[in-house]
Chains A and B, each alone.
Chain A
Amino acid sequence: MRLEVLKTNKLYIGGKFPRTESGRFYTAVDKNGKEIANMCLGSRKDFRNSVVPARSAFGGWSAKTAFNRSQILYRIAEMLEGRRDQFVSELTKMGSTKAAAEKEVNTSIDRLIYYAGWSDKYLQVFSAVNPVSSSHFNFSAQEAMGVVGILAPEENGLIGLVSSIAPVIASGNTCVVLASETKPLCAISFAEVLNSSDVPGGVVNILTGKKEELVSHFVTHMDVNAILYCGKDEKIKKQLQEDSITNLKRILIKDFDWLSDKAENPYLITDFTEVKTTWHPIEQVGGAGSGY
């Protein structure tokens, strides 16, 4: 007879798996109220500690070629495929039926491939050469914003996480994610997938904990450039709008059926980019005579 070894679900910060500095935990339960796992109850200090590696990873990640980021996103999908059984079993533990769990894992893998494809193409599609009346070559291109705080969807443990992270990092942003509070089990396993997929440490940081405790810290932190809130809680929406005035960070609120096609579009990538327009002086070729 042997004792079963239970997994300690820790946080994912800067490419490492630390426990919460607060030492607190909460117990995740299934739909019948049965305990399924102890999770770290992340604190505001854990959040602050995650912003630091997210910021320092931003330079390197956004400077990678779009093609390389695309390869890495594809790699995440490969790793997820390899561990599909684990994710199916975790989703079933958290209350999904076997069929629903399989569908969720499949959709998650496909969605990663989808954004891997867009990663090195969105710029060609959405950037523009603008007509101007002076002798300038004028063009606009999308650039990553910086550090994005993600409040992941509450209902889906895996697809919500994947669908909110992938478009954000596809363009070169880094992120700090607060995973679903009631369905947190997949979040830390997904962190292990990220950790073995050539995603540099700090690009994605995943916390587990309570929204009500952490939302105000996400939104008032000056070093966070944008927030993605996936949900429909009116109180949180109002709080986000009000507190974001500190540094006028972008607040994006999305509420989809995360398994549907709606949650899969390139505008989710451009939502987290800023448009940079460049005026480049040129000779006025059109007005030049035959001597040109």
Chain B
Amino acid sequence: MAKKTSIRDFSVTPSVDQVGINDRITRIQKRSIKKESKMEGLKMILNMIDLTTLEGADTKGKVEQLCYKAQHLHDAQPGLPTVAAVCVYPTFVGVAKKALGKSGIKVASVATAFPSGHSSLEIKKMDTQIAIDNGADEVDMVISRGRFHQGDYNYVFDEIAAIKEVCGKKVRLKTILETGELGTLDRVRKASDIALHAGSDFIKTSTGKIKPAATLPFTLTMLEAIKDYYYETGIQVGMKPAGGISNSKLALQYLLMVKETLGNAWLSNEWFRYGASSLANDVLMQIMKQETGNYQSKDYFSID
């Protein structure tokens, strides 16, 4: 279906029922997923991880090591999937691309003056272009939260649309809302609507630099926005919670939430991702627990 061109008035987005959302989350947290379904869920989670390093201290060696980890999660256990992508700063895209070779693992790059987003549109476009020129398959941009808080919704919209234009059809754009800086569910919903209508291929909760990062209520609000947008336009948009998801139990709860809000069509790494670095090892430890029956120790897994 063709994308609608009319732009809605974002000052009148629906407000979110916070009590309802929290109630739903409480019920999700009480659910228990065991045995075979847990195992399948864990493998699916591994395959949905964007293994991330976004530190000032990143080096070529660190990125290469991360890329190796992405391809060899735990060689002691055959049959494990790889992660979905490796997420790095634009300057390391080339290194990652080379290190990942033909493994099929994508390279995602943050761009647009990550993580603050305080820069001019020209620089943000150039930043994005550099990432793409270096071979990025996906671009993770940040929205201008300052402008958003000023009520300058059209600016935020135009900026996302402009970056999507730089990305073109081949490179998928993930738009980071930085929910921790938006504060309320209503604002998260509004920012989600803006990002969706401006042409994002994914909406993403956080940079990982601000606490709180991804939370279940923020994510559920964003998933609801994706659902409404899908009903409205027929366009499928992906979701990426990022930051703060470091254990398997929590990751399974996210998975459950996606399945029950958006359905099976979203249950692949084309439409759902986790932005995380330490999650992979916890999932691996859980998988090995299911395989061996013994509780695992970090000592026997690679450091990421």
A residues at B contact (CB < 8 Å): 48, 51, 55, 217, 220-223, 246-247
Contact = CB atoms under 8 A, between A and B. Distances in A.
A222 B297 CA distance: 5
Interface in B268-304: 292-300
B293 A222 contact: no
B297 A247 contact: yes
Contacts of B292: 246
A221 B289 CA distance: 10
B297 A220 contact: no
In this complex, the member of A220, A221, A223 whose beta carbon has the largest number of chain B beta carbons within 10 angstroms is A223
A223 B293 contact: no
A81 B299 CA distance: 40
Contacts of A222: 294-297, 299-300
Contacts of B296: 222-223
Give the most central of A222, A223, A247: most B CB within 10 Å.
A222
Contacts of B293: 220
Interface string B15-49: 00000000000000000000000000000000000
A217 B289 CA distance: 12
Contacts of B300: 222, 247
Nearest to A44: B295
A246 B300 CA distance: 12
A246 B298 CA distance: 14
A220 B288 CA distance: 13
Nearest to B289: A222
Contacts of B297: 55, 221-223, 247
A48 B293 CA distance: 13
Contact of A48 (B295, B298, B299): B295
A223 B298 CA distance: 7
Contacts of A221: 294-295, 297
A29 B300 CA distance: 43
B45 to A, nearest CB: 20
Nearest to A217: B295
15 contacts: A48-B295, A51-B295, A55-B297, A55-B298, A217-B295, A220-B293, A221-B294, A221-B297, A222-B294, A222-B296, A222-B297, A222-B299, A222-B300, A223-B297, A223-B298
Nearest to A220: B294
A221 B293 CA distance: 9
Contacts of B298: 55, 223
A223 B294 CA distance: 10
Nearest to A243: B294
Nearest to B294: A220
A247 B298 CA distance: 12
A47 to B, nearest CB: 9
A247 B294 CA distance: 10
A223 B295 CA distance: 7
Given A220-B294, A223-B295, 14 more contacts: A48-B295, A55-B298, A217-B295, A220-B295, A221-B294, A221-B295, A222-B295, A222-B296, A222-B299, A223-B296, A223-B298, A223-B299, A246-B294, A247-B300
A97 B296 CA distance: 45
Contacts of B295: 48, 51, 217, 220-223
Contacts of A246: 292, 294
A220 B297 CA distance: 11
Contacts of B294: 220-222, 246
Interface string B174-218: 000000000000000000000000000000000000000000000
Contacts of A217: 295
Nearest to B300: A222
The 5 closest A-B pairs by CB, nearest first: A223-B297, A222-B297, A220-B294, A221-B295, A222-B296
Contacts of A55: 297-298
Contacts of A48: 295
B148 to A, nearest CB: 38
Centre residue among B292, B295, B299, B300 by max chain A CB count within 10 A: B295
Contacts of A247: 297, 300
Nearest to A247: B297
A215 to B, nearest CB: 14
B209 to A, nearest CB: 23
Nearest to A147: B297
A14 to B, nearest CB: 16
Contacts of A51: 295
B302 to A, nearest CB: 15
A22 to B, nearest CB: 15
Nearest to B292: A246
A146 to B, nearest CB: 9
A217 B295 CA distance: 9
